């Protein structure tokens, strides 16, 4: 049995199908399985939209087709009128339907009366492989609708742009890359067969049988990631840290899906993966011989330090670049040799650049002695970046770097617990080692939520009450991170050798 009535395709569905036919099928017929869009994803969409709107200014004076997705036929009719009107230099959000596919084109630029250039706007800072079929399907539909396309461009953000204040200099903020040859080549070799494959999958009565794999996160994180993992072994082989495709393929060929079923000496396992395997098989934590020595290599008072940052696509502050990482908050727990614990913190509030106040408050709290305990090298990287951006503070910032002690590195090298499930992130380590302390009670409970919340807090349209709520939630989250480090460090020091 096959379905006779398959839904219309769109660029989004076409791209979903290229990533995974199961994803496309579920998105088309089982939308109830889609998880709700979270705040981080929404922020990403909003940022992409803002970039798209701004990029129209690269081809100014065009006509915007305002009809939305639900009024596609009217949008297509408006587009046909605009195409016929030679006085319109560009059409934004031009709508076309051909061969059962609907698409909207970001910018259709008129080169002469009947010939156009097509531009797809992306928030990325370079052309990516997946952008080629993404543009190609638009060209296929536009040309099928009778439009002659001479050039195809990818308009993306130029990472080297430096914001000078005022209006963005669009000719510098955006980079227009000619992808005509790549798109034409894909159209000649692959688009027809890809469309046939996609339509064939959609015509089936049953969901395509696709194993989980690399495609679940590449090029995009699939919304069915959790759904497709329901019922898998608790220690699925995918959890092996740094597992390469070749290893996963050979485990698959051997019929092994559970780490517990991997035999000792399985070819291709790294030392870390072998350690994970042993720990899962025995159900016991691995404790390296040198763990205690490594943990004693610190100097009191210990300062457990964590930063929160955000990296807007469109730069906010003078002298910053697109996607530049801007630290806006830190939390520090200070542990003295006698066990006394203090907490210090900083969170910038206003619309101005948070970095000067961030640096001065941090320098003050960090003192001149004692180890600065972090979880990963992220804080070190940020301090080095700040030292480059604010050379007047470089010496004091780099002096902090000299005192840093990376707890993640130590755990990764000397400790493993089966409940880590292959991850050494604090969010995975904490529940395994300190089950009574988690993040579930917090409104903000990961770094990307914190970034989104900060951008919302400083947005001029955000009301005072809402700002206060976000401010409190950010403080609670960052404080929890450093508290978690204190507890994890303490627990590891008490682990018997």
Residues that bind ligand SF4 (CB under 6 A): 20, 22-23, 26, 210, 212, 215-216, 222, 224-225, 228
Least Cβ distance, residue 477 to ligand SF4 (angstroms): 28
- Which candidate, 86, 423, 408, places its Cα nearest to that of 238? 423
Question: Which residues are within 8 A (CB) of 38 and not within 5 positions of it... i.e. 6 or more apart?
Answer: none
Pairing state of beta strands 115-121 and 148-157? parallel
- Which candidate, 166, 206, 222, places its Cα nearest to that of 34? 222
What DSSP assignment string belongs to 147-188? -EEEEEEEEEE-TT----SSS--HHHHEEEEE-HHHHHHHHH
Least Cβ distance, residue 220 to ligand SF4 (angstroms): 9
3-state secondary structure of 310: strand
Least Cβ distance, residue 401 to ligand SF4 (angstroms): 40
CA distances from 366 to 35, 63, 256 (A): 42, 55, 50
Pick between residue 228 and residue 452 the one whose CB is nearest to ligand SF4. Answer: 228
Pairing state of beta strands 9-10 and 101-112? parallel
Least Cβ distance, residue 213 to ligand SF4 (angstroms): 7
Least Cβ distance, residue 266 to ligand SF4 (angstroms): 24
Least Cβ distance, residue 22 to ligand SF4 (angstroms): 4
Number of CB atoms found within 10 A of residue 98's CB? 16
Least Cβ distance, residue 111 to ligand SF4 (angstroms): 39
Q: H or E element: which one contains 415? A: strand 415-416
- Which candidate, 415, 427, 420, 422, places its Cα nearest to that of 480? 427
Pick between residue 24 and residue 433 the one whose CB is nearest to ligand SF4. Answer: 24
Least Cβ distance, residue 244 to ligand SF4 (angstroms): 18
Least Cβ distance, residue 281 to ligand SF4 (angstroms): 27
Pick between residue 224 and residue 420 the one whose CB is nearest to ligand SF4. Answer: 224
Pick between residue 240 and residue 408 the one whose CB is nearest to ligand SF4. Answer: 240
Q: What is the dihedral sign for C-alpha 235, 240, 245, 248? A: negative
Peptide bond before residue 301 is cis, with ω within 30 degrees of 0 = yes
Pick between residue 216 and residue 247 the one whose CB is nearest to ligand SF4. Answer: 216
Peptide bond before residue 284 is cis, with ω within 30 degrees of 0 = no
Pick between residue 29 and residue 98 the one whose CB is nearest to ligand SF4. Answer: 29
Are the C-beta atoms of residues 438 and 319 closer than 8 Å to each other? no
Are the C-beta atoms of residues 243 and 212 closer than 8 Å to each other? no
Pick between residue 126 and residue 226 the one whose CB is nearest to ligand SF4. Answer: 226
Least Cβ distance, residue 252 to ligand SF4 (angstroms): 14
Pick between residue 216 and residue 295 the one whose CB is nearest to ligand SF4. Answer: 216
Pick between residue 159 and residue 229 the one whose CB is nearest to ligand SF4. Answer: 229
DSSP letter at 465 equals H
Pick between residue 223 and residue 354 the one whose CB is nearest to ligand SF4. Answer: 223
User: What distance in Å separates the CA atoms of residue 87 and residue 336, rounded to the nearest whole number?
Assistant: 74
Pick between residue 228 and residue 397 the one whose CB is nearest to ligand SF4. Answer: 228
Pick between residue 26 and residue 455 the one whose CB is nearest to ligand SF4. Answer: 26
Least Cβ distance, residue 226 to ligand SF4 (angstroms): 8
CA 496 to chain CA mean position, Å: 39
User: What distance in Å separates the CA atoms of residue 335 and residue 485, rounded to the nearest whole number?
Assistant: 11
User: What distance in Å separates the CA atoms of residue 417 and residue 436, rounded to the nearest whole number?
Assistant: 16
Least Cβ distance, residue 9 to ligand SF4 (angstroms): 17
User: What distance in Å separates the CA atoms of residue 416 and residue 239, rounded to the nearest whole number?
Assistant: 13
What DSSP assignment string belongs to 344-405? EEEE--SSS-SHHHHHHHHHHHH-SSS-EEESSSHHHHHHHHHHHH-GGGHHHHHHHHHTEE
């Amino acid at each position: 049995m096959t379905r006779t009535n398959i839904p219309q395709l769109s660029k989004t569905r076409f791209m979903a199908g290229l990533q995974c036919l199961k994803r496309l099928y579920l998105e088309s017929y089982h939308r109830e399985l889609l998880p709700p869009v979270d705040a981080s994803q929404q922020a990403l969409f909003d940022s992409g939209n803002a970039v798209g709107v701004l990029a129209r200014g690269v081809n100014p004076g065009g006509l915007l087709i305002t009809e939305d997705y639900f009024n596609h036929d009217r949008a297509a009719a408006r587009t046909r009128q605009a195409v016929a009107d030679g006085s319109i230099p560009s059409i934004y959000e031009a709508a076309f339907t051909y061969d059962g596919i609907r698409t909207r084109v970001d910018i259709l630029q008129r080169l002469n009366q009947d010939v156009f250039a097509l531009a797809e706007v992306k928030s990325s800072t370079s052309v990516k492989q997946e952008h080629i079929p993404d543009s190609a399907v638009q060209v296929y539909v536009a040309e099928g609708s009778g439009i002659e396309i001479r050039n195809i461009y990818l308009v993306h953000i130029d990472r080297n742009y430096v914001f000078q204040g005022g209006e963005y200099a669009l000719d510098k903020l955006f980079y227009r890359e000619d992808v005509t040859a790549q798109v034409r080549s894909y159209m000649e070799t692959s688009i027809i067969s890809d469309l046939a494959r996609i339509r064939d999958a959609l015509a089936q009565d049953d969901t395509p049988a696709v194993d989980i794999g690399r495609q679940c996160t590449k090029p995009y994180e699939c919304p069915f990631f959790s759904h497709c993992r329901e019922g898998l072994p608790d220690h699925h082989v995918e959890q092996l840290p740094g597992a390469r495709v070749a290893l996963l393929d050979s485990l698959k060929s051997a019929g092994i899906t559970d780490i517990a079923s991997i035999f000792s000496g399985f070819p291709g396992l790294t030392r870390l993966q072998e350690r994970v395997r042993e720990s899962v098989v025995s159900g016991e934590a691995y404790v390296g011989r040198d763990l205690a020595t490594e943990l004693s290599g610190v100097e009191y008072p210990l300062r457990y330090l964590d930063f929160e940052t955000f990296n807007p696509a469109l730069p906010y502050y003078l002298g910053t670049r697109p996607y530049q990482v801007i630290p806006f908050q830190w939390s520090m727990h200070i542990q003295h040799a006698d066990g006394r614990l203090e907490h210090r913190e900083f969170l910038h509030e206003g619309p101005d650049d948070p970095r000067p106040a961030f640096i001065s408050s941090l320098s003050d709290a960090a003192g001149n002695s004692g180890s600065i305990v972090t979880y990963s090298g992220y804080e070190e990287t940020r301090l080095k970046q700040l030292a480059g951006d604010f050379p007047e503070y470089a010496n004091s910032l780099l002096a902090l770097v000299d005192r840093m002690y990376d707890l993640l590195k130590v755990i990764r090298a000397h400790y493993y617990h089966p409940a880590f499930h292959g991850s050494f992130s604090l969010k995975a380590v904490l529940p395994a080692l300190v089950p009574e302390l988690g993040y579930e009670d917090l409104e903000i409970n990961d770094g990307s939520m914190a970034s989104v919340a900060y951008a919302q807090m400083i947005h001029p349209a955000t009301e005072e009450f809402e700002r206060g709520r976000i401010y409190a939630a950010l403080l609670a989250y960052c404080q929890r991170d450093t508290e978690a480090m204190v507890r994890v460090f303490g627990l590891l020091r008490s682990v018997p050798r």
